[in-house]
Structure 1
């Protein structure tokens, strides 16, 4: 059965952010991810990880900004990344370098780089070259530091006109960049909303080795994976059968309390075959 990481931006929101690490560890999680760390000093986050025996497995590069204060407030200001946005190259590079600084402090292997919302009057095809060039630079920087950059297809209902919204969009960019340090973050919630046929997408892309992180949530409300139209017990078995050994991020909004809603995970772990 897959190994699950708690997403501390969406889970345990009844607690202050820095207290969520302890709550996740108490509930049996061994790893965490979250959206953005830039409102906190890296040393404070690293201390929480050490204190509770947790691994940091993923976070996002800043969605915009040239300094840390601007980076920390960019998401709330409506920014959704700059990798595909003309004239924002300096922000993109500053954000990647800041994310890699945090990744080193937190011993985090991967950062997710957001592409951005298509500007009014522009279409995706015209910006593919710009995005690929930015990602090539980011992958070079990450590789030199022993890290990986991820890109994620995000559904257009939650994020209208987001540049990367299909699995083939992401893999097309990987083809263009041609770097072992650029991979895909495959969120099955987004995949189901945009494309459906999730099991076929897993069979197509997991064997390539280019999917480095998976995320899950129920569809359509983005609650626990045992709520909604996707049957995750089947998908978890398929992920195992395809040999995926990475983390599965629990990027969902609990319908009630986080701890009370973890029955789906406990059932999944209980179904894990006994080790010989």
Structure 2
């Protein structure tokens, strides 16, 4: 069975954020991820990780003004210094949390800006961030996101993300392959994984099209999990889905996998 990380931004919302770590551990998760930790003290989060024996698998760098609709800074002209400062903020948290992977969101293509110009700026910012993370022995992730959930986002297809990291050519720069986004934009997700496996640094999952538990919909997740095992994938699989009801009530898919492992 793959190593699953509960996404605490989306899961266990029945309790306050800092209480979700205990919920995730009690449910049997070995790791956690979330979008942004910056509302809380890093040491308060680290305390929960230690207390419940959890690994921090991933979190995102500061995205700009999320409440105002910003979805990352890396492609936004005039925001280079803010992006660089966000890298340092994320690194400070990552050191305390023992997190080895950070995700830098690309941002929405600015109105009136040519996409190629935005991509040029994006490549420069991402290359700089990856070199900075390399100094700390950490991996930088970029992620293509579907146009339905995030219209205007700079990166939408797995091919685009992998072409960018091939152009930059830094060994600690990888692509985050979210099967949910990939199925919507590209399809044929297993062949997609096989094609790009060496450059995949993290996987995320959710049902398609609803983005709920991975137990129904277009993707056969039990088969995909088996394929990941057979392929020897040893990275994390982040559960970035919105539960249909309560989080605990929707964990039958996870309990079934754990039961299969102990048979």
Q: Is the 8 A contact 1:202 1:239 kept in 2?
A: no
Q: Which 10-residue stretch deviates more, 237-246 or 188-197? A: 237-246
- 1:101 is displaced (CA, Å) by 0.7
- Hey, what's the Cα distance between the residues in 1 that align with 2:160 and 2:115? 10
- Equivalent residue, structure 2, for 1:67: none
1:38 aligns with 2:38: yes
2:131 to 140, 160, 166: 140
- Hey, what's the Cα distance between the residues in 1 that align with 2:261 and 2:6? 19
- Hey, what's the Cα distance between the residues in 2 that align with 1:228 and 1:47? 37
5+ residue gaps in structure 1?
Answer: 65-73
1:128 to 108, 113, 119: 119
2:246 to 233, 238, 257: 257
- 1:27 is displaced (CA, Å) by 0.6
2:92 to 97, 101, 108: 101
2:183 to 192, 195, 198: 192
Q: Is the 8 A contact 1:60 1:111 kept in 2?
A: yes
- Hey, what's the Cα distance between the residues in 2 that align with 1:194 and 1:121? 24
Aligned to 1:76, the other structure's residue is in SS state: helix
Q: Is the 8 A contact 1:6 1:33 kept in 2?
A: yes
Aligned to 2:68, the other structure's residue is in SS state: coil
- Hey, what's the Cα distance between the residues in 2 that align with 1:90 and 1:254? 37
- Equivalent residue, structure 2, for 1:217: 206
1:248 aligns with 2:237: yes
Aligned to 2:237, the other structure's residue is in SS state: strand
- 1:125 is displaced (CA, Å) by 2.1
RMSD, matched Cα: 1.2
TM-score of the superposed pair, with normalisation by structure 1: 0.92
- Hey, what's the Cα distance between the residues in 2 that align with 1:111 and 1:245? 18
Spell out, residue by residue over 1:30-75, the C-alpha distance to the aligned partner (whole angstroms, 9 max, x if none).
11000000000111111111111111110000002xxxxxxxxx22
Q: Is the 8 A contact 1:109 1:148 kept in 2?
A: yes
- Equivalent residue, structure 2, for 1:23: 23
- Hey, what's the Cα distance between the residues in 1 that align with 2:140 and 2:178? 15
- 1:143 is displaced (CA, Å) by 0.6
- Hey, what's the Cα distance between the residues in 2 that align with 1:132 and 1:272? 42
